[in-house]
A = this chain, B = another copy of it.
Amino acid sequence: MTISDVARAAGVSVATVSKVVNGRYGVAAETSQRVLEVVARLGYETSLVASSLRRRKTNVIGILVAEFEPFSTELLKGISGAVGGTGYELLAYSGAVSDDNRVGWERRSLSRLAGTLIDGAVIVTPTVVVAGAGIPVVAIDPHTGPGGPWTVDADNVGGARAAVEHLVGLGHRRIAHVRGRTDLESARLREQGYRESLAEAGIGFDPALVRDGGYRASRTTDSARELLSLPDRPTAVFAANDLSALRVIEVAHELGLRVPQDLSVVGFDDIPEASSGDQRLTTVAQPLRQMGARAAQMLLAMLDGAGTEEHVHMPARLIVRETTAPPPA
């Protein structure tokens, strides 16, 4: 079903069909009428690919993610809400990830889509600073602060501090940290907040209590096992995100530890899964939907040639739920 099929069926040239379909002037009303009928009858719809190859603008916004997991899908909901009704279409793309392109996937995805398929992009948790894409780009939870594209993120240091201070306030002294994706600024900042709070509470930093979790459940498993099998086991864990925190709790259960009686756990993000399980996770909430919406608005503004803020920071706040308690006596 191509434009040629329509042209043939209507007895006109493809150029005429194109004009009719795109509402260009210079087509006789009668011809237009006939073409439209054929289009409707055949169910023809112009190919996004072909037209975007030729045109400059596609009216499509790309959302580049590594994977569709709770974090990115929350953002997606926010973006979808903000873009709805603007006439733009959304194209959320997750390129195939293999081990060798785990870093740099966003540059690849962007090159593949930019200039042709999408007019602008919001990139979720890029692993490298993406610049010179040729199209407007907003990064959410970016690789690094300034220098790169415009960004949206939450108060990572403040959130982490709130989490650790909560734990300290409960009486914990041996507080472990499961690190996030080390290529992300947010992970660095959360660890920084963790260290700052420890220092302020007069608790020495113990490198043995910090392990990588990579923001992923699978990467967290071993780290959690090691941490919870330590001779001098921590009484609390501050995980860099909810996925890690949730996995820490599972591992704790495997090891016969009760949460929060034997072990307190705090996460970060407040994805829906954090509060929908049997036990509700104490966590630092990022306003994910709003962050997505904000990023979309910024992109829309850039696309319109309008000015907009370049780096937006949103507040993060601690939500105390059921996985934290004073340490065992």
Contact = CB atoms under 8 A, between A and B. Distances in A.
B68 A116 contact: no
B93 A90 contact: yes
A92 interface: yes
A221 interface: no
Contacts of A271: 272
A219 interface: no
Contacts of A4: none
A60 B228 CA distance: 42
A76 B76 CA distance: 11
A22 interface: no
A95 interface: yes
Interface stretch (A80-88, A159-167, A252-260, A304-312): A80-88
Contacts of A79: 68
Pick the most buried of A44, A73, A97: most chain B CB atoms within 10 A of its CB: A73
A93 B79 CA distance: 13
Among A49, A67, A88, chain B packs the most CB atoms within 10 A around the CB of: A49
Contact of A48 (B44, B80, B117): B117
Interface in A108-165: 108, 111-113, 115-117, 134
A305 to B, nearest CB: 20
A111 B73 contact: no
Interface in A55-96: 59, 67-70, 73, 76-77, 79-80, 84, 86-96
A298 to B, nearest CB: 18
Q: Which of A1, A274, A277 has the most CB of B within 10 A?
A: A1
Interface residues of A, number: 50
Interface string A26-50: 0000000000000000011111111
Contacts of A107: 43, 45
A77 B69 contact: yes
B76 A87 contact: no
A273 interface: yes
Most chain B beta-carbon contacts within 10 A, residue among A44, A68, A79, A117:
A68
Contact of A97 (B68, B84, B275): B84
A112 B276 contact: no
Given A92-B92, A93-B91, A94-B80, A50 B47 contact: no
A50 B53 contact: yes
A45 B93 CA distance: 16
Contacts of A87: 96
7 contacts: A47-B112, A47-B116, A48-B113, A48-B116, A89-B94, A274-B276, A275-B277
Given A70-B272, A87-B96, A92-B92, 20 more contacts: A1-B111, A45-B107, A45-B108, A45-B111, A47-B116, A48-B112, A48-B116, A49-B52, A49-B53, A59-B96, A68-B73, A69-B77, A73-B73, A84-B97, A91-B91, A91-B94, A92-B94, A272-B272, A275-B276, A276-B276
